[in-house]
Structure 1
Amino acid sequence: MTTPAIDARRLTKRYGDIAVVDDLSLEIAPGEIYALLGLNGAGKTTTIRMLLGMVRPTSGEATVLGTTLRPGVHTVWSRVGYLVETPAAYPELTVAENLAVAARLRGLRARRHVDDVIDRLRLTPYARQRAGTLSLGNAQRLGLAKALLHKPELLILDEPANGLDPAGVAEIRDLVLELSREHGVTVLVSSHILTEVARLATRVGIIDRGRLVREFAADHLAQHVQRRLSLSVRDRESAEKALLTAGHQPVRTEGDVIVLTDSRAVGEPEAVVTVLVAAGCPPYRLVVEQDDLETLFLRVVQP
């Protein structure tokens, strides 16, 4: 039987009477990309900090790469890379100097470790720039570079897309996928961005108020996220009549907006346009929309 990369059993963290993480159990297989999906304040960061030994749980225990976490146990961290919350750096040192310091602390003597990670994270234009002057996105890249310096077996990332522009988000996604698929790295990533989780993870756990309330394979996420075709027309009555005749079930909303939720309309919006144009009431706005994270939570979390 394969040993899990992460095996958390009934983790609980209380501050006074408040349970920030409540009886959470989690098992992540080697090579898996597991996404912990939750709204801000759901308990994602506290869970990650307990798995990294940064916060001692009130009760429960966790095993990381086969090592049970206890005070004074340090050997496992040479195999783990992490980025939690705001990445720390020496503000007066350059990007390259920060990475050189991090490399020495990890016992990495060869300069190539720093050069390789600078190239991989596309930090070459900023290598001689002081860390304190970096944009939020590039500071995040520097934090990721430090997490990857020693080529870890397990990578734990807390909101890695924070501060990155869309191109940067895509780069980090591709990097994580490459690490998992080509190098067998296990990844635990927390996020509140639904679309990124759908593109990245192999399995998703939804955390709400400190409790893991649902787990499912990422390719089943689409079954939980509802999509709809929203269109605006000038002659709503004629448009609804034409759509009903074509076998659709338009949902009434306020104003001139018509919503269709059937899979045929969502999958083939051009066919809907054809129907409306033929009826003499072409739409002046048409868009396929999907649930945001808060809407998904209301459906999944609340019975």
Structure 2
Amino acid sequence: MTEPVIVAKGLTKSYGDVTAVDDLSLEISAGEIYALLGLNGAGKTTTIRMLLGMVRPTSGSVTVLGAAVRPGAHAMWSRVGYLVETPAAYPELTVVENLMVAARLRGLRGHRQVDDVITRLRLTRYARNRAGTLSLGNAQRLGLAKALLHQPDLLILDEPANGLDPAGVAEIRSLLVELSLQGVTVVLSSHILTEVARLATRVGVIDQGRLVREIASNHLAEHVRQRLSVSVRDHAAASKALSAAGFHAIRTDGDQILLTDFRAVAEPEHVVTVLVAAGCPPYRLVVEEDDLETFFLRVVGA
């Protein structure tokens, strides 16, 4: 059986009386794209910093690529790429020069890796621009380029799409999927929930420092709620007819009635029959379901 790439057990981080992360445990396998979701201040960035050894936990332990994360343990970091919060760069150096410095720090020789990652992150047009003149989106691309420079086995990213336009977000999504198919493990935090739904293979929801829910993306459909939305012209008559037929009708503002009964969602033709017989035929019927945002907000009680 393949050893997990990341194992965190009972991670807790307190700052005085404030507990930022509370008894959090994770196990992430090779090739996964694991997304941490949470409201601002939920503990996502603190968790990522503990996984990377940037913050020492108050209690608990972390193992990355088979090695315990502790002071003086350096061997595994040559296989890890990361971008945490604001991407750092030397503002007076160009994009190429920043990447050459990063390459030397990684013990890389030559220009091949730098040229490859510039092309991959679509930074060719800005290669000779000073980092301090870059837009937020291109500064983010430079940060991602530095994380990918040494072809890591594990990539840990805090808000990787920050500052990118929609085209850039789609490019980063495609890049991360491509990397995962090559066996790279990706751990990320994000507030762009639609992107997480398209990208992640597994989602962990953090609330007030605790991991409150984990779910595989291919099982998300089992947890979303479905409802039948019915648009009618006579709310009162339609609601009365549906209630008499055994349906639980929820009136909303406007012209909609929502039905959450399993029978209504599975067989909407029965709803149509009831309404037509009552003399108030619907002019619109559609089965709606929660998206990841609705699911997430329900989980954290927001």
SS of equivalent to 1:73 = coil
Aligned residue runs from structure 1 range 4-15, under 5 A: 4-15=4-15
Q: Which moved further from structure 2: 160-169 or 247-256?
A: 247-256
- Quick check: 1:4–1:28 contact (8 Å CA) kept in 2? yes
**Residue 35 (structure 1) aligns with:** 35
SS of equivalent to 1:42 = coil
Query: What is the distance in 1 between the residues matched to 2:125 and 2:266?
Result: 43
- Quick check: 2:234–2:280 contact (8 Å CA) kept in 1? no
- Quick check: 1:235–1:281 contact (8 Å CA) kept in 2? no
SS of equivalent to 1:207 = strand
Count of aligned positions:
299
Quickly say closer, same or farther: Cα 1:242–1:178, change in 2 above 3 A.
farther
Query: What is the distance in 1 between the residues matched to 2:266 and 2:58?
Result: 49
Q: What is the TM-score with the length of structure 2 in the denominator? A: 0.85
- Quick check: 2:8–2:61 contact (8 Å CA) kept in 1? yes
SS of equivalent to 1:88 = coil
SS of equivalent to 1:160 = coil
**Residue 215 (structure 2) aligns with:** 216
Aligned residue runs from structure 1 range 1-303, under 5 A: 1-181=1-181, 183-228=182-227, 235-236=234-235, 250-261=249-260, 282=283, 288=288, 290-291=290-291, 293=293, 295-301=294-300
SS of equivalent to 1:41 = coil
Quickly say closer, same or farther: Cα 1:247–1:120, change in 2 above 3 A.
farther
Q: AA paired with 1:8?
A: A
Q: Gaps spanning 5+ residues in structure 1: where?
A: none
CA deviation vs aligned residue, 1:112-166 (integer Å, no higher than 9, x gap): 1111111111111221222112221111111111100000000001111111122
SS of equivalent to 1:102 = helix
Q: AA paired with 1:216?
A: I
Aligned-pair CA distance for 1:10: 0.7
Q: Which moved further from structure 2: 231-240 or 197-206?
A: 231-240
Q: Which moved further from structure 2: 252-261 or 170-179?
A: 252-261
Aligned-pair CA distance for 1:226: 3.0
Q: What is the TM-score with the length of structure 1 in the denominator? A: 0.85
Quickly say closer, same or farther: Cα 1:111–1:239, change in 2 above 3 A.
farther
Q: AA paired with 2:105?
A: L
SS of equivalent to 1:170 = helix
Aligned-pair CA distance for 1:223: 2.4
- Quick check: 1:198–1:219 contact (8 Å CA) kept in 2? no
Q: Gaps spanning 5+ residues in structure 2: where?
A: none
CA deviation vs aligned residue, 1:62-86 (integer Å, no higher than 9, x gap): 1100110111111211100001111
- Quick check: 2:79–2:153 contact (8 Å CA) kept in 1? yes
SS of equivalent to 2:198 = helix
- Quick check: 1:3–1:29 contact (8 Å CA) kept in 2? yes
Quickly say closer, same or farther: Cα 1:142–1:243, change in 2 above 3 A.
farther
Quickly say closer, same or farther: Cα 1:226–1:168, change in 2 above 3 A.
farther
Quickly say closer, same or farther: Cα 1:198–1:256, change in 2 above 3 A.
same
Quickly say closer, same or farther: Cα 1:240–1:150, change in 2 above 3 A.
same
- Quick check: 1:242–1:279 contact (8 Å CA) kept in 2? no
Quickly say closer, same or farther: Cα 1:233–1:121, change in 2 above 3 A.
farther
Query: What is the distance in 2 between the residues matched to 1:97 and 1:296?
Result: 44
Quickly say closer, same or farther: Cα 1:139–1:259, change in 2 above 3 A.
farther
